[in-house]
Chain A
Amino acid sequence: MKILVPIKRVIDYNVKVRVKSDGSGVDLANVKMSMNPFDEIAVEEAIRLKEAGVATEVVAVSIGVKQAQETLRTALAMGADRAILVVATDEVHDDIEPLAVAKILKALIAEENPGLVIAGKQAIDNDMNATGQMLSALLGWSQAAFASHLDIQGDHALVTREVDGGLQTIKVKLPTIVTTDLRLNEPRYASLPNIMQAKKKQLDEKTAAEYGVDLTPRLTVIKTTEPAARAAGIKVGSVEELVTKLKEVRAV
Chain B
Amino acid sequence: MAVLLIGEVTSGTLALDATGKAVTAAKQLGDVTVLCIGASAKGAADEAAKIDGVSKVLVVEDALYGHRLAEPVAALIASMASGYSHILAPSTTDAKNIMPRVAALLDVMILSDVVGVVDADTFERPIYAGNAIQTVKSTDSVRVMTIRTSTFDMAGTGGSALVEVVATRDNPGLSEWIEDKVAASNRPELTSAGVVVSGGRGVGSEADFALIEKLADKLGAAVGASRAAVDSGYAPNDWQVGQTGKVVAPDLYVAVGISGAIQHLAGMKDSKIIVAINKDEEAPIFKIADYGLVGDLFNIVPELTGKL
Contact = CB atoms under 8 A, between A and B. Distances in A.
Given A170-B176, A183-B237, A136 B101 contact: yes
B183 interface: yes
A220 B136 contact: yes
B126 A227 contact: yes
Interface string B278-303: 00010000101111111000001001
A218 B101 contact: no
B70 interface: yes
Interface string B255-273: 0000000110000010011
Contacts of B101: 133-134, 136-137, 143
Interface in B194-212: none
A141 interface: yes
A234 B182 contact: no
A166 B181 contact: yes
A97 B136 CA distance: 12
Contacts of B63: none
A127 B275 contact: no
B274 A145 contact: no
Q: How large is the interface on A (under 10, 10 to 19, 20 to 34, 35 or more residues)?
A: 35 or more
B128 A171 contact: no
Contact of A243 (B252, B263, B286, B307): B307
A180 to B, nearest CB: 11
Contact of A234 (B99, B281, B292): B292
B238 A223 contact: no
Interface in B64-111: 67, 69-71, 74, 92-94, 96-105, 107-111
B237 A171 contact: no
A103 to B, nearest CB: 9
A223 B288 CA distance: 25
B21 to A, nearest CB: 15
Residue among A136, A138, A165, A227 facing the most chain B CB atoms (10 A cut-off): A165
Contacts of A124: 128-129, 243
Contact of A145 (B96, B130, B288): B96
Contacts of A143: 70-71, 97, 101, 175
A237 B41 CA distance: 52
Nearest to A181: B244
Interface residues of B, number: 89
Contacts of A140: 172
Contact of A158 (B178, B244, B288, B300): B178
A189 B68 CA distance: 37
A142 B132 contact: no
A166 B132 contact: no
B113 interface: yes
A226 B132 contact: yes
B62 interface: no
A174 B162 CA distance: 41
B148 to A, nearest CB: 11
Contacts of B131: 16-17, 19, 26, 226-227
Interface stretch (B22-30, B50-58, B137-145, B163-171): B137-145
Contacts of A192: none
Contacts of B135: 221-225
Residue among A181, A233, A249 facing the most chain B CB atoms (10 A cut-off): A233
Contacts of B74: 137
A233 B288 contact: yes
Interface of A: 11, 13-14, 16-17, 19, 26, 97-99, 102, 121-122, 124-138, 140-146, 148, 158, 161-173, 181-183, 218-227, 230-231, 233-240, 242-243, 245-246, 249, 251-252
27 contacts: A17-B132, A19-B131, A97-B109, A127-B113, A127-B126, A129-B96, A129-B100, A130-B112, A133-B97, A146-B97, A158-B178, A162-B237, A163-B93, A163-B94, A166-B181, A167-B180, A169-B179, A170-B69, A218-B138, A219-B136, A219-B139, A223-B134, A230-B288, A235-B292, A239-B303, A242-B293, A251-B272
